[in-house]
Amino acid sequence: MADITDKCELILKMRRIGASEGSACKNHVLTTLLPYDKLKSILEVRLKISILGDGGWGTALAILLKNKGFDVSLWGVFKEDIEAIKQDGENKKFLPGFKIPKTIQLTSEIYHACEDANIIVLAVPSRFFRDVITKNKKILKESQAGFVSVAKGIEEKSLKRMSEVAGEILGGSEIAVLSGPSIAPEVSRGIPTAVVVASEDEIFAKKVSDIFRAERFRVYTNKDLIGVELGGALKNIIAIASGISDGLGFGVNTKAAILTRGLAEMTRLGTAMGASRETFQGLSGLGDMITTCVSLEGRNHRFGVEIGKGSRPESL
């Protein structure tokens, strides 16, 4: 029975990397010569992962995954930005100070980025999320890849979560969400980080967890897709409020009140929208909120600080 199970797992994995069932069966001897973990790592290294979005987080994930040995491509919509990254060897615009491995494929042509991809990471900002997916729907669907959204936000007009937008456009594709307290520069510096992956497909969530997990990048799984996404979006509001408090010169008493009452409001809203209360006590809720509210590198916190100091929001 164990031998049959190993064979099935090997066939499934090799199908995901483009091999035929016949070649998988011919190489079935590997299951008796190599431990499962070793075999799994060999197969996964051959995966191609495409990251759409050359911002700080997309770039940080590209470096993380390349360092794990995957075939990685990084796409950006502006050719001049991609050419600058190639020339500088780093993303000076969004993630300065971190060298990008030369073996990462950098491109502004989305077809080349997604060609033969097994996993496509959607790292496009939430305000451009629908537009990018809609314009490239044919390419994305024909790739037959699984999708991982790392965008944190809610669509302004429809009030849909990013996985809902992706599911609406891409149909029955596998979709997961990766979220949690993960400031891009800290991840790129190798500072220990923990995040969470959620999907309606538990098997796909586990697969994504295995792909992203690294020695200093711990990835948990969660069945609560709604809660994980809402935590990543709603905490931005609390981060802005926390920043305003800092900009006004208030102290830690005020910040503690904002964080604790903010978490209570996030939880109430989330449960009303179908999420689990416990999710907001975890990485994608409390954890992400704390990081965004206290880190000097958090964009929403910085935005709030400037408002607190007197700047007009539309000028920032």
CA–CA separation, 280 vs 177, rounded Å? 15
Joined together, the tokens standing for residue 292 give: 């965004």
CA–CA separation, 216 vs 310, rounded Å? 39
Please spell the DSSP secondary structure of 62-103, one letter per residue: HHHHHHTT-EEEEE-S-HHHHHHHHHHSEETTTEEEEEPPTT
Joined together, the tokens standing for residue 43 give: 């197969």
Q: Is 66 part of the annotated catalytic residue set?
A: no
Please spell the DSSP secondary structure of 102-138, one letter per residue: TTSEEES-HHHHHTT-SEEEE-S-HHHHHHHHHHTHH
CA–CA separation, 32 vs 41, rounded Å? 15
Question: Choosing from 40, 102, 235, 309, which is the catalytic residue?
Answer: 235
Whether the CB-CB separation of 228 and 270 falls below 8 Å is answered with no
CA–CA separation, 307 vs 74, rounded Å? 34
CA–CA separation, 250 vs 241, rounded Å? 12
Joined together, the tokens standing for residue 242 give: 């926390």
Query: Which region holds residue 144: left if phi is over 0, alpha if psi is between -120 and 50, else beta?
Result: left
CA–CA separation, 237 vs 157, rounded Å? 17
Active site members: 235
